[in-house]
């Protein structure tokens, strides 16, 4: 597979369209299209679905993983040989869930040595779905809830992220005249998005089978989720790192002191010898060990 064609495929995936890839590569859209067609002919596979943005086929995912690995290896080799341009950074795409991003993950990235000149490209995704981005070759590493390694990846256990059921005092006064368990089907609840089943899982455990109520607000932001609970829009499972200062200040009330939900988190990364990737993995593991509950 000619390297210029492989790099062109990666550019199309990263930029989303043939025109944007052409601009990034400083070639014409026709040249981009010809390279992709030639690559598909040489592999005998359809690699891209020509949608907007483009979507990879399973075969395309394999080639994109190769392309990203080659790009990282080339950068590391140029740096070791002294051939890298002054200030030329390494780009490291990582998938991470919103709650980790809002609490402990960014401090981990600050521990990566500055001399490595790493540019982080963070993709926010639910911890149950970050491995999809690894499998597609979109990212090189991910914080995930899955201990099962994606093909070609290694797995490191990070710890458990603890969530506590909480609500504002105003919400409790308005909606609850007894334990949450008795009212959970009729009171408003805050959820992250339509794929977030954390509150329903908690409700089923609390009631032995019933989901949280139909009155639910979808707030797809970790900070916004917390603000919605603080504002009394509903109860929700809040990361303990975010909840504890508000509990001390009286802005939140713990609805069930005996129950919490622990979500296991793992670090998955490509099996690739790269100083930038190795340093990032070390920093993430160190900070996770300080911030998360141990297994």
Per-residue pLDDT of 146-162, as tens digits, reads 999 998 899 999 999 99
pLDDT band at 37 (very low <50, low <70, confident <90, very high): very high
Contact 221, 101 (CB under 8 A): no
pLDDT of residue 70: 86
For 79-119, the pLDDT digits (tens) are: 778 776 655 688 899 999 999 999 999 999 999 999 888 99
**197-237 per-position pLDDT tens digit:** 999 999 999 998 899 989 999 999 999 999 999 999 999 99
Question: Could you confirm whether domain 161-262 is CATH 3.40.50.1370?
Answer: no
- Mean pLDDT within 281-290: 97
CATH topology classification for 1-67: Arc Repressor Mutant, subunit A (1.10.10)
User: Per-residue pLDDT averaged across 235-250, rounded?
Assistant: 96
Give the model's pLDDT for residue 277: 92
pLDDT of residue 247: 96
The pTM of the full predicted model, rounded to 2 decimals, is 0.81
Give per-residue pLDDT as tens, 169-190.
999 999 999 999 999 999 999 9
Amino acid 76: pLDDT: 81
Minimal CA–CA distance to 237: which of 203, 198, 211?
198
Residue 78 pLDDT: 80
Q: Are 16 and 52 in contact (CB under 8 A)?
A: yes
Cis peptide before 53 (omega within 30 of 0): yes
The reported pLDDT for the residue numbered 272 is 83
| Tokens standing for residue 110 | 């600050």
- Domain chopping of the chain, boundaries: 1-67, 161-262
| pLDDT number for residue 17 | 93
Give the Cα separation of 78 and 33 in Å (integer). Answer: 29
């Amino acid at each position: 597979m000619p390297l210029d064609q492989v790099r062109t495929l990666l550019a199309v995936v990263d930029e989303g369209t043939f025109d944007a890839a052409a601009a990034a590569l400083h070639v014409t859209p026709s040249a981009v299209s010809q390279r992709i067609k030639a690559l598909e002919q040489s592999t005998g596979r359809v690699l891209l679905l020509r949608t907007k943005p483009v979507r990879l086929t399973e075969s395309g995912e394999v080639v994109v993983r190769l392309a990203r690995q080659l790009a990282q290896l080339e950068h590391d080799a140029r740096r070791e040989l002294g051939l890298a341009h002054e200030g030329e950074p390494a780009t490291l795409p990582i998938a991470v869930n919103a709650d980790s991003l809002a609490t402990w993950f960014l401090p981990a990235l600050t521990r990566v040595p500055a001399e490595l000149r790493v540019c982080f490209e963070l993709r926010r995704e639910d911890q149950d779905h970050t491995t999809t981005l690894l499998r597609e070759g979109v990212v090189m590493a991910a914080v995930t809830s899955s201990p099962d390694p994606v093909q070609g990846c290694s797995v490191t256990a990070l710890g458990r992220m603890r969530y506590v059921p909480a609500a504002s005092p105003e919400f409790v006064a308005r909606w609850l005249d007894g334990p949450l368990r008795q009212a959970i089907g009729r009171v408003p609840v805050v959820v992250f998005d339509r794929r977030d089943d954390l509150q329903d899982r908690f409700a089923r455990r609390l009631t032995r089978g019933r989901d949280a109520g139909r009155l639910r607000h979808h707030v797809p932001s970790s900070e916004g989720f917390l603000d919605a609970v603080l504002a009394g829009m509903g109860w929700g499972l809040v990361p303990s790192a975010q909840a504890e200062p508000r509990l001390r200040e009286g802005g939140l009330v713990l609805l069930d002191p005996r129950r919490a939900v622990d979500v296991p988190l793992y670090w998955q990364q490509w099996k690739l010898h790269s100083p930038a990737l190795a340093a990032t993995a070390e920093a993430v593991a160190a900070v996770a060990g300080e911030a998360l509950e141990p297994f």
